[in-house]
Structure 1
Amino acid sequence: MVAQKFVVDLNKPLVFQVGHLGEDYDEWVHQPIISKEGPRFFQSGFLELFTRTAWWVIPIVWVPVASWFISNSAKAGLPSHHISLLVFLGIFVWTLAEYTLHRFLFHVQTKTYWANTFHYLLHGCHHKHPMDSFRLVFPPAAASILALPIWNLVKLMCTRSTAPAVFGGILLGYVMYDCTHYYLHHGQPKSELPKGLKKYHLNHHYRLQNYGFGITSPLWDKVFGTVPPPQTKGMPNVDKLQ
């Protein structure tokens, strides 16, 4: 007797359903529902509140935090031109972190109940509902959890005076990433550079999810060979989705 496949009821809270998909989860989560109406995650209104974040919360929360870290390097006596270089280094480091997290954590394949559930909360929900504007940027609490090990790594690799400026740059890079990511989904760019970035990202969502992991830049996709191949017959035309 063949076991009946689990069917997700989109009219009910999703988070505790998706784990039951098992090995079918990866296929299900990469069949996007293109609607600005976001799904309900939890039955609890209190928990639901923490799953929704407006894009403008990101710079309001993290720019002051980044500025505080950078100021600590200034208080340690570093000259301003050294601090500027360290901040730019941090932004550059973030571009690699952005690529690495997106490729190896956000797109890890899962099949157990709790792994599917965790992945859906982390990134799967964005691929299933890519136009949900309140589930597009990272809630500050979740971002803090990811930021802590990065800060510890920076402290390990830098001196006491340089670490805050580098980490501040990483945080500024993150802010640029999340705001850019939001714009690529909901903005209507007119100039060539942002139009190209938007098309590049839509390729990742609607054509080839295992390519195009860079959001703010395709640099690391070029380095590691994950630039999406040219569009071929039978693939979705992402130009129509812009």
Structure 2
Amino acid sequence: MVAQDFVVDLNKPLVFQVGHLGEAYEEWVHQPIVSKEGPRFFGSDFWEFLTRTVWWAIPVIWLPVVCWFISLSVRMGLTCPHITLVVVSGIFIWTLIEYSLHRFLFHIKTKSYWGNTVHYLIHGCHHKHPMDGLRLVFPPAATAVLLMPFWNLVKLISPPSTAPALFGGGLLGYVIYDCTHYYLHHGQPKSEGPRNLKKYHMNHHFRVQDKGFGITSSLWDKVFGTFPSSIIDAKSR
């Protein structure tokens, strides 16, 4: 059976199936199934459990960590105005990281078995099942692993007293991003700003998947020329 003839059985765990799609994976993963019931990923209950995260776990787990890092800079003598400036800088830097990860990693084109499998796990599943509420935010265990190299990088490029607040600001930016992302899929915004942001993100999912990579804002899409030329109205989903 050639890869293009492979048919994914949605009634069976998906992760180890999608790799067999080969070059057909790219088209398959961008044909969304709009259902609030998520698919099963693994046959193992343990691994399946690790793929599911309620949205509120993100602020509950990471906001205390943000506060702790910022407090380290306070104890090293940074003034409130300085702390504020550094934290806001960290949030701003995160918006660029958010855009870059989404554009260059989450939307990388793959066709090999393991390339398809890994891509499905980190982002393809979200495009295939965009309303799966338990796979909209990043699992905290995976985030904890990724934070270590980021923290080491921040320590390398900034003064000791500034590094904790800068890292805390970046982590706060991540928390805002993940909560915003969940809200854009499951919230019903009433005011114009959030409504336009939801419309912008739904356009990325259901119309133009290779544009509109910003989640918390469209700033970097405008800077780097990936702002979509037209945007559909957000539907209630």
Q: TM-score range by the shorter chain?
A: over 0.9
What residue identity is the alignment partner of 1:48?
E
Instruction: Give the % identical residues.
Output: 71
Partner of 2:80: 80
Partner of 1:234: none
Cα gap change, 1:73 to 1:187, in 2 (>3 Å) = same
Partner of 1:59: 59
List runs of 5+ in structure 1 lacking aligned partners: 232-236
| TM-score, normalised relative to structure 1 | 0.94
Partner of 2:99: 99
What residue identity is the alignment partner of 1:203?
N
**What whole-Å deviation, never above 9, does each CA across 1:44-72 have from its counterpart, x for those lacking one?**
11111000000000000110111111111
Count of residue pairs the alignment pairs up:
237
Partner of 2:178: 178
- Asked if 1:45 is matched to 2:78, the reply is no
1:80 Cα deviation after fit: 1.7
- Asked if 1:113 is matched to 2:116, the reply is no
SS state of the match for residue 180, structure 1? helix
Q: How many angstroms apart in 1 are the aligned matches of 2:104 and 2:140? A: 21
**What whole-Å deviation, never above 9, does each CA across 1:117-159 have from its counterpart, x for those lacking one?**
1111100100000000000000001222332222222111101
Across the aligned residues of Structure 1 and Structure 2, the Cα RMSD in angstroms comes to 1.5
Q: How many angstroms apart in 2 are the aligned matches of 1:76 and 1:49? A: 40
1:2 Cα deviation after fit: 7.2
Greater mean alpha carbon deviation, residues 73-82 or residues 142-151: 142-151
Q: Within 5 Å, which residues of 2 pair with 1:167-206?
A: 167-206=167-206
Tell me if structure 1 keeps the 8 A contact 2:4–2:21: no
| TM-score, normalised relative to structure 2 | 0.96
Q: Within 5 Å, which residues of 2 pair with 1:122-201?
A: 122-201=122-201
Q: How many angstroms apart in 1 are the aligned matches of 2:107 and 2:96? A: 16
Q: How many angstroms apart in 2 are the aligned matches of 1:4 and 1:89? A: 47
What residue identity is the alignment partner of 1:56?
W
List runs of 5+ in structure 2 lacking aligned partners: none
SS state of the match for residue 34, structure 2? coil
Tell me if structure 2 keeps the 8 A contact 1:131–1:186: yes
Q: How many angstroms apart in 2 are the aligned matches of 1:140 and 1:84? A: 26
**What whole-Å deviation, never above 9, does each CA across 1:91-121 have from its counterpart, x for those lacking one?**
0001001001110111111111111111111
- Asked if 1:20 is matched to 2:29, the reply is no
SS state of the match for residue 5, structure 2? coil
Q: How many angstroms apart in 2 are the aligned matches of 1:241 and 1:63? A: 30
Cα gap change, 1:103 to 1:2, in 2 (>3 Å) = closer
Partner of 1:211: 211
What residue identity is the alignment partner of 2:18?
V
Q: How many angstroms apart in 2 are the aligned matches of 1:86 and 1:208? A: 35
Q: How many angstroms apart in 2 are the aligned matches of 1:141 and 1:2? A: 36
